[in-house]
Structures are given as C-alpha cells and as structure tokens.
Amino acid sequence: MAEAARHALVTGASSGIGAAIVARLLGDGWAVTGVSRSEGSEVHPRYRHLALDLSDLDAIAPALEDLRVDALVHAAGLLRVGRLGAMAPEDGEAMWRLHVEAAVRMAEILVPRMAAGGRVVLIGSRTAAGAAGRGAYAASKAALVALARSWAAELMPRGITVNVVAPAATETPMLTDPARGGLAPRLPPLGRFIRPDEVAAAVAFFLSRETDAVTGQQLMICGGSSL
C-alpha cells in the first residue's frame, strides 16, 4: 500500500513566497492546506484552501480545530515602514499580530498533535538584523528567531524540528507595495532580487526527512547582502 502523503499547512498561500512554497511541496508529493484570505489560483487534487484572516487571532482556533498536519509553514507577511516617532502604532501592532502572535496561536494548536518527524518553518527576514525605517518589521521578524530557538529546544525530545528561512528582498508584491512609503528595496550584491522558488527550496530542505538533526537554525537567503 502506498504511503499517505505528508500534510503541510502553509500560510500566505495565495501569492508570493507562500504560493511558491505550496507549489514546491505539491511537486514533492505533499498534501497541502493553504491559508490565506483570498483563494489564489492553485488547483491540485492534494491541495485545499482554507479562507482565514490570520490577523483575526480569535478565528484561528476554530478554523484549525480538527486539523492535523505534519508541518506548519508560516509564510504570511506584512510590511509597514516608518522611522522612530513617525510610524503609526497600529501598523506595528498589525505586523506583530500577523508575524508573531498568529504563529504562536497556530503552533499551540497544531504542534501538540504532531508525531515525531514533525516540522515547523517560519519565514523570517534578513531585515531581522535591523534596518533604518523598518524597526517594527525587523523586531517582529527577529522575534520569530527567538520563538524558533525556544520551541526547538522544547520539541527536540519529541523529534520535531523548528527552523527559520530568512530571505532578503524577494520578488513578491511586497516589493511594489505603496505601504513601503518610498523606502525602496535594496538590491543584493547578487545583482537581482531573491526568487520565491529559492525560498521554497530552502523550506523544502527543512521539511525533508534528512533534516532530523537540524533545528533552531536560521538560514539566510540574501544574495550576498549579509556579507
């Protein structure tokens, strides 16, 4: 009898990095539940869409109530910019809610149901190291590294790994989002922006069965930006 497909939940699934991760995992034989507010264009027998606004934290538990997965990939993201003293408080709160609090809510529901071999991958950012005008965004992404390392230490005895993939500026709608407020993305020394499929490949690596011993790590995909 054929082995049942492993099942991943991927947030931000309708576009950008999330959509690339969905496509990669389906190609690798996974069953995927994609979470986003809009449905996107993915059509596949092993894919189902879950309409959910992750910024509505109280809606997360009911939506995931009966779901069991082998992997949680949190790729949903939001960028709001502003220098110290100039950023609207609600913008920082929105990023923290989506990047950090939603990750915690989902992990608290899904990870206790995971068997050995379970995986959690959080999509961070090279900006987590700090960048002028992006302080609140950087802080929310840096928090994901702290969460991943803490959860990794807790979950290693259960055979569950937790890692972060942190890309530099990536070819997604975020690059041209008017909410950037004139803060242009920085072109990496590579001479081009990171491609979503490159981020998806790194996620696939962390989800693979060959990475049982890799946990609590942050993998930068920066095109030389960190050098």
Question: Strand order in 31-36's β-sheet?
Answer: 47-51, 31-36, 7-11, 71-74, 119-123, 161-167, 218-221
47 is an active site residue: no
30 in Cβ contact with 6 (< 8 Å): yes
The enclosing H or E element of 207 equals helix 196-207
User: DSSP string of 14-63?
Assistant: TSHHHHHHHHHHHHTT-EEEEEESS--S---TTEEEEE--TTSGGGHHHH
Among 16, 21, 31, 137, the one annotated catalytic = 137
**178 — phi, psi (to 5°)?**
-55, -20
72 in Cβ contact with 24 (< 8 Å): no
Residues taking part in catalysis = 137
